[in-house]
């Protein structure tokens, strides 16, 4: 099962156009976004016009029909700019649309995919106040009614929820925990219906312009057509399939942002003088620059490999996790080196180095923390070893 995706030549042209867009339109508005904590509406419109909200959505539903490699390379190109730009579209494309494409009924796809591709914003409701990595502890419930479902619960740290028109909400449809998380189903919930409250945006360490907030569901009634795929107990599986995409997307974002930080460190090192010469001439500065380059290159190679395997239909759960862990930890080291190369200036808000440092920290936490993913990788290795012996 391989995915050919968009025509290769058309895609390369698109990437060139996107690189120009990042340089000419996105990076120049970053300071304004830091001040206002919002992406300007005209920039969002330009992103919609470029088709960024429908990258992997099939062409018959108004999207670009990209395969996974193309999608991740697009995220990588976009993520050279501040994280808010990837954040606003990645839930649409990598999570909501992906779950719908893999698990939705034809009617659900026809109803929602064109709206998402056109730039309506979606949210993905898995995390709760009492359960993050431990999805089995999920408390939100969906109880059947005569003509649908009644949802109750709270979702926490939900990206884009203040702007979203629709959410994919994971809820318990069985009281006891079932094998393979079959007690969890997924529901397509319009966020403007009675009983849905979006709380105020949380204040964060970094990532200006990207918003997270709680979604509270109190006796929210949805029709029977809201159950993803029309099947009970499949929600978690579709959510997890989406998470592979999400992890590769975060890995790509961290890899690109590390490159941005390194570029800014090189520029600073060649301009800043100490002892009568540019600090770029000092070997310990060069060591930090070289080490950063080496690690970014390794992450880029992992990105190319895992996405190629994903398009070939391989099970990439372990490799997507490995790429996400390596790229995000690497990004942490590179943004730290960037601050160090800037010296005292690296601690000042007038330089980008301190913002890169704060923005990058979340990459090691969301879409699976480094520690949870290490456990997952080890579990799969041990399971394979046991099966082979």
Instruction: List, by residue number, the catalytic residues.
Output: 367
- The number of angstroms, rounded, from the C-alpha of 6 to the middle of its chain's C-alpha atoms is 21
Half-sphere exposure of 29 (CA within 13 A, CB side): 20
Question: Would you say 237 and 252 are in contact if contact means Cβ atoms under 8 Å apart?
Answer: no
Phi then psi dihedrals of residue 270, to 5 deg: -85, -25
Distance CA 8, CA 333 (A): 34
Q: What is the residue-wise DSSP string for 245-257? A: HHHHHHHHHHHHH
DSSP state of 25: I
Distance CA 113, CA 312 (A): 24
Structure tokens at 84: 């808010």
Closest CA to 214 of 202, 224, 205: 202
Question: Would you say 292 and 258 are in contact if contact means Cβ atoms under 8 Å apart?
Answer: yes
Length of the chain: 389
Enumerate the H helices of 273-312 as residue ranges: 283-311
Distance CA 126, CA 183 (A): 14
Task: Count the Cβ atoms, other than its own, within 10 Å of residue 99.
Answer: 28
Phi then psi dihedrals of residue 248, to 5 deg: -65, -35
Q: Which residues contact 310 (CB under 8 A, 6 or more apart)?
A: 68, 69, 244, 248, 316, 320
Question: Would you say 76 and 255 are in contact if contact means Cβ atoms under 8 Å apart?
Answer: yes
Distance CA 130, CA 247 (A): 22
Distance CA 56, CA 97 (A): 8
Closest CA to 150 of 234, 222, 224, 216: 222
């Amino acid at each position: 099962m391989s995915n050919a995706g968009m025509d290769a030549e058309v895609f390369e042209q698109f990437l060139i156009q996107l690189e120009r867009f990042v340089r000419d339109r996105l990076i120049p508005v970053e300071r304004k976004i830091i001040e206002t904590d919002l992406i300007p509406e005209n920039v969002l419109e330009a992103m919609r016009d470029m088709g960024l909200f429908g990258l992997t959505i099939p062409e018959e539903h108004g999207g670009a029909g990209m395969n996974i490699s193309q999608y991740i390379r697009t995220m990588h190109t976009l993520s050279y700019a501040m994280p808010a730009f990837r954040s606003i579209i990645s839930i649409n494309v990598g999570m909501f649309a992906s779950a719908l494409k893999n698990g939705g009924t034809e009617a659900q796809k026809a109803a929602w995919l064109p709206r998402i591709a056109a730039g309506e914003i979606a949210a993905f409701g898995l995390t709760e106040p009492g359960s993050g990595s431990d999805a089995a502890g999920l408390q939100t419930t969906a109880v059947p009614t005569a003509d649908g479902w009644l949802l109750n619960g709270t979702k926490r740290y939900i990206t884009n929820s203040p702007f979203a028109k629709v959410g994919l909400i994971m809820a318990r449809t069985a009281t006891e925990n079932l094998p393979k998380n079959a007690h969890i189903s997924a529901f397509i919930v319009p966020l403007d219906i009675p009983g849905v409250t979006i709380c105020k945006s949380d204040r964060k360490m970094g990532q200006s312009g990207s918003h997270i907030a709680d979604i509270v569901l109190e006796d929210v009634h949805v029709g029977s057509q809201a159950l993803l795929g029309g099947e009970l107990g499949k929600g978690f599986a579709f959510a997890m399939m989406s998470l592979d995409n999400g992890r590769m997307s975060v890995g790509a974002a961290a890899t690109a942002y590390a490159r941005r930080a390194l570029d800014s460190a090189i520029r600073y090192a060649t301009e800043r003088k100490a002892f009568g010469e540019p600090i770029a001439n000092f070997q310990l500065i060069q060591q930090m620059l070289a080490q950063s380059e080496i690690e970014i290159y390794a992450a880029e190679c992992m990105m190319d490999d895992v996405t190629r395997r994903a398009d070939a239909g391989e099970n990439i759960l372990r490799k997507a996790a490995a790429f996400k862990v390596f790229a995000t930890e690497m990004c942490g080291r590179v943004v730290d080196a960037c601050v160090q190369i800037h010296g005292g200036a690296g601690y000042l808000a007038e330089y980008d180095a301190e913002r890169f440092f704060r923005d990058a920290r979340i990459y090691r936490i969301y879409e699976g923390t480094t520690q949870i993913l290490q456990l997952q990788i080890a579990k799969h290795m041990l399971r394979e070893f046991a099966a082979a012996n």
